[in-house]
Amino acid sequence: MRDKITATPDDAFHALSMSIRDRLVRRWIRTQQKYKEEDVKRVYYLSLEFLMGRLLGNALINMNFYDKCYDILRKDGYSLEDIRDHEQEMALGNGGLGRLAACFLDSMATLELPAFGYGIRYEYGIFEQDIINGYQVEKADNWLKLGNPWEIMRRNLIFKVKFYGRIIQDRDNHLKFNWVDTQDVNALAYDIPIPGYGTNTVNNLRLWEAKATSSFNFQDFNTGNYVAAVAGKTDSETISKVLYPNDTIDKGKFLRLKQQYFFVSATLQDIIRKYKINHNTFDKFAEKTAIQLNDTHPVIAIPDLMRILIDDEGLEWDKAWDLTVKTFSYTNHTVVPEALEEWSESIMGELLPRHLQIIYEINRRFLEYVREFYTTDNSIISKLSIIRDHPNKKIRMSNLAIVGCHTVNGVAELHTEILKKTIFFHFNKIYPNKFRNVTNGITPRRWLKSANPLLSGLISEKIGDKWVTKLDELKKLEKFINNKEFLENWRGSKWLNKKLLINHIEKDYGLKINPESMFDVQIKRFHEYKRQLLNVLHIITLYNRIKDNPKKDFVPRTIIFGGKAAPAYFAAKLIIKLINSVADVVNNDKDVGDKLKIVFIKNYSVSLAEKIIPASELSEQISTAGFEASGTGNMKFASGTGNMKFALNGALTIGTMDGANVEIREEVGADNIFIFGLLADEVVKIKNNGYDPRDYYQKDAELKRVIDMLSADYFNKKEPGIFKSIVDSLLNVDYYCSLPDYRPYIETQDKVRPPVHRNSR
């Protein structure tokens, strides 16, 4: 018990959240009851990642209670903003894939769809990033240490998940197998309410925690071996301990396959339990159940449903297969072939022997079909096979997904086309209607209404607030395109948002930022294909120009970076160090002054994105064309906003013809997005022709000078040689085509004009 004097801000956060959750629980129970009574078709979104961010502000906004709550608290001497800042982030995801899952939950609840999210309740989310001497240092994200007021433990909802063991053919039915001598782990459910905006619908996100089936091995315990006795318990509970911090590539890790099957098995048992409340047979299963697989991570669900239907429920193979394909669909999030998940056959066979057997049977039947109706060419067949034979046997999870789902979608038009024309070419020929595009989107509740109250207030004042659920409404703003007062207020809001971000930067980094400078922002995971390095080449170019000509008129810029690199991804981590080294020199150079500042905001997260994006004026979406499946950061203010010319005074985009940029250009018009660089097919062509990056280096004096400075340790005098691998890779390989895109990028950057600020006119 605390009173007003002893209560900490954290206490205030917990008290407020609990009382808001209480209000949600009533609606939540009603929603779930209604789904049950009406026996609706349910959609289950299975994802190994949910990058939810903070929940309090979002809940208040969706319940239409934010302003009222704000006033009540203020009267009591509390600030809602401060309280919100005390919420630990729910950072159970790496990047776009996990954030997309979170946005979908918000949208589905708002659309009142009977949707259920399923995932893992990781004890540790994505690592916390610190920057020490310019280098990324990882720390554990102990987000649950103070408890989580949003989750409700369902102590009666526990499922047993089996691993290892062996299989025995059923004596009476040769198609059935019994999976015995297994090592079991319990999955315990935790529920998080997902309120829709402006509706009474409250959906559910169910996350599983791993619990040992029995706490001790009594044999060991009795012989005095206490540590060995509890070791088994800790071992099984490590399954839900920590989120894998890689994005894009997570290959071959045993624990990760365990995580995948753990949450899939518990989820399918739960789905079937719910189905059986209203049904005695499986006849209607596919009519009542849609399961969306977020990337290949939950694809083991396909053989698992087959196993349940055949071994536990006694269905024939054909019937089980028909239901399975009609139930599942799969979203692909990457075209990089080396990033597609594969599991070694021996690992799969050891951990999930029955599943491996089922996968072989699925593959046998599929290849039989291919030979009969498509081709007998073995080189094509070996590409289509779910099992890869060479150099060692692997299960290709994407091939399994395509065969076992009724629909496969890419996440932007270009991406879907690349899937159909390249990596899944033959699959698309075999199943011409299976591939579909669903371009990623974002929830305007979090990314506009909540993150940018100034701008959203302004918008609602002019056109009402229907835009919060129907972004097309924003088109109505075109009427005000020449309205002086509106434009003035628009600029004012951007100015204030920049000031808020400046406060944050000055407080945390001790840097003085020029509010008149253009805020040029690249926030996303660090990956070579995203080309933060190209951005650095631009920065050094600007630096040289200022140094050469300090008196010349120059568009001042503050260039902001944020993002984490996978802990084992050396090249990406070195780019973080490079940015910080360049920042050190540029920010402290008297000739540069406030014309150019570089800020690396550490520990980039959903809540930091909510602070940075409203203040940004130029968004960098500069991946090598063909590599970024979609990009969700780029959509924050662009997608669906129609031809908002006045976006010229908001955030512009500079980018390649990649991912969703292509569609965004159609939406916002070519004058609100600066496009440059090689197209996806040109990237392929130039690589096939074996281009030499040194040609670009030799022919472009400005570029040569930049690279020579890196070779000469200009930015790292105290640590000579550390950037050698960057220079070597640029000049000798340049896999991501930074050199061919350098000149077009620089020329396009030169054209970007800053928005006009209130105070600068």
Using the minimum distance from each CB to ligand NBG, give the nearer residue, 301 or 635: 635
- Taking the complex as a whole, the smallest distance from the CB of residue 341 to ligand NBG amounts, in Å, to 10
- Helix (H) or strand (E) holding 125, with range, is none
Using the minimum distance from each CB to ligand NBG, give the nearer residue, 295 or 342: 295
Query: Of residues 14, 258, 355, 525, which has the active-site annotation?
Result: 525
- Which residues have a Cβ under 8 Å from the Cβ of 15 and sit 6 or more positions away? 7
Answer for which of 53, 57, 93, 96 binds ligand NBG (CB under 6 A) is: 96
Q: Is 374 exposed, middle or buried, given 0-12, 13-18 or 19+ CB atoms closer than 10 A?
A: middle
Ranked by CB distance to ligand NBG, the top (closest) residue is: 96
Decide: is 630 part of the binding site for ligand NBG (CB under 6 A). Answer: yes
Q: Are 703 and 743 in contact (CB under 8 A)?
A: yes
| Site mask for ligand NBG (CB under 6 A), range 295-314, x = bound | x-------------------
Decide: is 629 part of the binding site for ligand NBG (CB under 6 A). Answer: yes
Using the minimum distance from each CB to ligand NBG, give the nearer residue, 247 or 528: 247
Active-site annotation holds for 333: yes
Q: Are 197 and 445 in contact (CB under 8 A)?
A: yes
What's the length of the chain? 761
- Which residues have a Cβ under 8 Å from the Cβ of 639 and sit 6 or more positions away? 439, 441, 442, 471, 660, 663, 664, 667
- Taking the complex as a whole, the smallest distance from the CB of residue 333 to ligand NBG amounts, in Å, to 3
Segment interacting with ligand NBG, rule: CB under 6 A, options 4-12, 89-97, 255-263, 458-466? 89-97
- Taking the complex as a whole, the smallest distance from the CB of residue 702 to ligand NBG amounts, in Å, to 30
Decide: is 97 part of the binding site for ligand NBG (CB under 6 A). Answer: yes
What span, in angstroms and rounded, lies between the C-alpha atoms of 498 and 55? Answer: 24
How far are the Cα atoms of 104, 108, 336, 374, 599 from residue 446, in angstroms, in the given order?
12, 14, 30, 47, 25
Structure-derived torsion over alpha carbons of residues 700, 706, 707, 711, reported in degrees to the nearest 10: 150
Q: Are 500 and 506 in contact (CB under 8 A)?
A: no
DSSP three-state, residue 158: strand
What span, in angstroms and rounded, lies between the C-alpha atoms of 541 and 557? Answer: 13
What span, in angstroms and rounded, lies between the C-alpha atoms of 435 and 135? Answer: 42
Segment interacting with ligand NBG, rule: CB under 6 A, options 52-60, 441-449, 626-634, 748-756? 626-634
Closest Cα to residue 560, out of 488, 661, 483, 633?
633
Decide: is 247 part of the binding site for ligand NBG (CB under 6 A). Answer: yes
- Residue in this structure with the two tokens 């204030």, named with its chain if needed: 496
Decide: is 100 part of the binding site for ligand NBG (CB under 6 A). Answer: yes
Using the minimum distance from each CB to ligand NBG, give the nearer residue, 59 or 100: 100
Using the minimum distance from each CB to ligand NBG, give the nearer residue, 100 or 187: 100
Decide: is 621 part of the binding site for ligand NBG (CB under 6 A). Answer: no
| Site mask for ligand NBG (CB under 6 A), range 572-611, x = bound | ----------------------------------------
DSSP codes, 245-299 = --SS---S-HHHHHHHHHHHHHHHHHHHHHHHHH-SSSTTHHHHEEEEEESSTTT
Q: Are 140 and 124 in contact (CB under 8 A)?
A: yes
Using the minimum distance from each CB to ligand NBG, give the nearer residue, 603 or 632: 632
Using the minimum distance from each CB to ligand NBG, give the nearer residue, 99 or 757: 99
- Which residues have a Cβ under 8 Å from the Cβ of 171 and sit 6 or more positions away? none
Decide: is 445 part of the binding site for ligand NBG (CB under 6 A). Answer: no
Active-site annotation holds for 530: yes
259-298: which residues touch ligand NBG (CB under 6 A)?
Answer: 295
Query: Of residues 624, 632, 641, 748, which has the active-site annotation?
Result: 632
Decide: is 641 part of the binding site for ligand NBG (CB under 6 A). Answer: no
Segment interacting with ligand NBG, rule: CB under 6 A, options 17-25, 93-101, 152-160, 694-702? 93-101
What span, in angstroms and rounded, lies between the C-alpha atoms of 346 and 393? Answer: 8
- Taking the complex as a whole, the smallest distance from the CB of residue 250 to ligand NBG amounts, in Å, to 9
What span, in angstroms and rounded, lies between the C-alpha atoms of 287 and 406? Answer: 13
Using the minimum distance from each CB to ligand NBG, give the nearer residue, 308 or 635: 635
Using the minimum distance from each CB to ligand NBG, give the nearer residue, 546 or 622: 622
Decide: is 342 part of the binding site for ligand NBG (CB under 6 A). Answer: no
Decide: is 341 part of the binding site for ligand NBG (CB under 6 A). Answer: no
- The torsion angles phi and psi of 135, rounded to 5 degrees, stand at -95, 145
How is residue 673 annotated by DSSP? E
- Please list the residues that pair with 294 across neighbouring strands: 331
Answer for which of 31, 398, 428, 440 binds ligand NBG (CB under 6 A) is: 440
Decide: is 333 part of the binding site for ligand NBG (CB under 6 A). Answer: yes
- Taking the complex as a whole, the smallest distance from the CB of residue 616 to ligand NBG amounts, in Å, to 18
How far are the Cα atoms of 72, 437, 628, 742 from residue 624, in angstroms, in the given order?
50, 21, 7, 11
CB atoms within 10 A of CB 225: 13
- Taking the complex as a whole, the smallest distance from the CB of residue 62 to ligand NBG amounts, in Å, to 23
Active-site annotation holds for 525: yes
Decide: is 628 part of the binding site for ligand NBG (CB under 6 A). Answer: yes
- Taking the complex as a whole, the smallest distance from the CB of residue 377 to ligand NBG amounts, in Å, to 31
- Taking the complex as a whole, the smallest distance from the CB of residue 38 to ligand NBG amounts, in Å, to 32
- Taking the complex as a whole, the smallest distance from the CB of residue 741 to ligand NBG amounts, in Å, to 18
Q: Are 674 and 653 in contact (CB under 8 A)?
A: yes
Query: Of residues 530, 564, 573, 757, which has the active-site annotation?
Result: 530
Active-site annotation holds for 524: yes
17-76: which residues touch ligand NBG (CB under 6 A)?
Answer: none
Decide: is 398 part of the binding site for ligand NBG (CB under 6 A). Answer: no
405-434: which residues touch ligand NBG (CB under 6 A)?
Answer: 411
Decide: is 334 part of the binding site for ligand NBG (CB under 6 A). Answer: yes
How is residue 339 annotated by DSSP? G
Using the minimum distance from each CB to ligand NBG, give the nearer residue, 541 or 661: 661
Decide: is 136 part of the binding site for ligand NBG (CB under 6 A). Answer: no
Decide: is 659 part of the binding site for ligand NBG (CB under 6 A). Answer: yes
For the chain, helix, strand, coil in percent to 5 are 50, 15, 35
What span, in angstroms and rounded, lies between the C-alpha atoms of 603 and 140? Answer: 12
Decide: is 401 part of the binding site for ligand NBG (CB under 6 A). Answer: no
Closest Cα to residue 526, out of 518, 535, 517?
535
Decide: is 631 part of the binding site for ligand NBG (CB under 6 A). Answer: yes
Q: Which residues are catalytic?
A: 333, 524-525, 530, 632, 636
The residue ranges that bind ligand NBG (CB under 6 A) are 95-97, 100, 247-248, 295, 333-334, 411, 440, 628-632, 659
